[in-house]
Amino acid sequence: MPKSIYFARQPILDIHGQTYAYELLYRSSYEQSFSPIQDDQSATAQVLVNALNLIGIKNLLGDAFAFINTDKSILMDDMILSIPKEHFVLELLETIVIDEELIQRIKELKEKGYRFALDDADCSKEYVLNFQPVFKYMDILKLDITLVDEKRLPKFLELFSKFNIKVLAEKVETQEEFDKYKEFGCHYFQGYFFAKPDIIENKRLDPEQLFVLNIISKLQGECDPDEISHLFEQNVAITLQLLRFINSAAFAFRSPIKSIKQAITLLGQNQLKSWLLLISYATKSNDNQTLANPLLHLAQTRANMMKTLYKVVYKDKCNQNVIDKAAFIGLLSLVEALFQSPMQTILNELNVDEEIIQTLLYYKSDLGKIYKLVAALEVFDVDVVDYLVENLHLDKKEFSTAVEESYQLTESFMKELSA
């Protein structure tokens, strides 16, 4: 039986909160459980084969870079030369012992145009002594903020700046941590802090947020296209965005859509609800173009995973209404971050059905386990993923394929949205 690899992507953001890169995390789904592959060289070779040949770099990353772990055996093997240097950053594991042979190899690869990062830096004297001989070849240092002594950090950051090394703060899980390490002078940040907002219990939603929620609420039941069209007419900016999007290559309508009523009729209520949420996640530039911010990326990825995994779990028993609901749950899962208000408050505003509420708040309902699996994979909680895959009677190869398909769908959608 051929081995199968499944991926998780963890976002790496720049100081403006835009996606700079992803770290590719991977496990073998060949064994009974999703345990780490012990052979680092084999693991990296397999993840690259899948990324380059089966999925495609553009499908997996869009325009972002990929960070991937390497050890000495990988770096010394000429297999490394098959890695496209324009897309990858080679992370040196913290367990590597630097010797003269490795220094010469890193220098050689650097001269060929490869980029390097140091992983899991704790700024200890031992770490610096081991890796200082290759500092001049490094582009990025990944700072583990759970291990570093903040009082000593400025001294080490000054050392790294002398070598023109950019610092990436990893395991950043809150906005407070992001702000703190941005002040320290870090250039990049890895973690899901952007999806964990400071919730303000009595925060009043702004008029545009209320407008979107109002339309989505109207779309929950039987709706009158004339009434919905009238609501859109009250917000010209969102109307223009909808018409622009629906006339893109994402939809294969025979002729251009010229009115909101026509768009509502052709799109249907479910796609229109999803679009309204997606456009709410998006950031607009000065020329009103949609920017692919990480919250939008994450919401779309969750929606796609909910759909693809539901289809794999239920196969012939699934129906389109539940598929649409699964995707909608994925999009709704980040509304706290979007509106900075409690989930329950927003769900009440949206007038969603009880199954969606039970899924989002308590992981209950038929879709609850799938939603929990999506959340576990996102943070690469291997034990929970392993348990849920078995509990849902998921074929491991089908699971791996569904995850890959979700990433492909997300990148394809983001390309269309920004075209």
275 to each of 53, 239, 263, 279, 326, how far by Cα in Å?
A: 32, 12, 12, 6, 15
Q: Give pLDDT tens digits for 118-132.
A: 999 988 889 999 999
Q: In this structure, are residues 194 and 10 in contact, taking their beta carbons and an 8 Å threshold?
A: no
Q: Give pLDDT tens digits for 68-78.
A: 888 898 899 88
pLDDT of residue 416 exceeding 60: yes
Residue 249's pLDDT band (cuts 50, 70, 90): low
pLDDT of residue 42 exceeding 70: no
* Residue 281: predicted pLDDT: 81
Using a pLDDT cut of 90, give the percent of the chain over it. Answer: 38
| Burial zone of 338 (CB within 10 Å; 0-12 exposed, 13-18 middle, 19+ buried) | buried
Strands 290-291 and 283-284: antiparallel
Q: Where are the domains of the chain?
A: 5-195, 197-419
Fold classification of 5-195 is TIM Barrel (3.20.20)
Residue 30's pLDDT band (cuts 50, 70, 90): very low
pLDDT of residue 142 exceeding 90: yes
pLDDT of residue 374 exceeding 60: yes
Q: Which two tokens stand for residue 160?
A: 């790294």
Mean pLDDT, all residues of the chain? 83
* Residue 2: predicted pLDDT: 39
Residue 3's pLDDT band (cuts 50, 70, 90): very low
Q: Could you say which of 1.10.3210.10, 2.60.40.60, 3.40.50.2300, 2.60.40.10 is the CATH number of the domain covering 197-419? A: 1.10.3210.10
Q: Which two tokens stand for residue 305?
A: 């995973």
pLDDT of residue 283 exceeding 60: no
Q: What is the pTM of this model?
A: 0.82
CA pair distance 171, 102, nearest whole angstrom: 28
Stated length of the chain: 419
Q: In this structure, are residues 372 and 2 in contact, taking their beta carbons and an 8 Å threshold?
A: no
Of 11-25, 166-180, 213-227, the least confident: 213-227
